[in-house]
Amino acid sequence: MAATKKETEWPELLKLPQVAKVLACSESMVKKLIRSGRLPAVTISPKCIRVRKDDLKAFLETQAAKARGVKPVILDETHETISPLWQTVKPVKG
């Protein structure tokens, strides 16, 4: 049985300078967002931290929704509300 594209696809991991460029902020601000738990990250080693592209997109959507005064939610495949986005994101310890 052949694996589907979704099963073999790895998440795209972004380096902190790439994340800073997308957010138009400094790398130190990105690190603060990660330490505070607002931006999930993958810590490979203390000097090797990556952010999943999907996590960055979710962070941006959350920030945009907050700016508009809307509480973002996650939808399942049937487009029914599951839970607010910020309740599903767990901070990375490290």
pLDDT digits (tens, 9 = 90+) for 4-25: 556 567 779 999 999 999 999 9
Q: Which long-range contacts (CB under 8 A, 24 or more apart) does 19-24 make?
A: 19/51, 19/56, 22/56, 22/60, 23/60
How many domains does the structure of the chain reveal?
1
- What string of DSSP letters covers 63-74? HHHHHHT---EE
The confidence score (pLDDT) of residue 88 equals 47
Element (H, E) at 50: strand 48-52
Print the domain residue range for 60: 11-88
The CATH number of the domain where 32 resides is what?
1.10.1660.10
**68 belongs to a structural domain:** yes
**pTM confidence score:** 0.64
40, 90 Cβ separation under 8 angstroms: yes
**Helices and strands per DSSP (H, E), number in the chain:** 5, 5
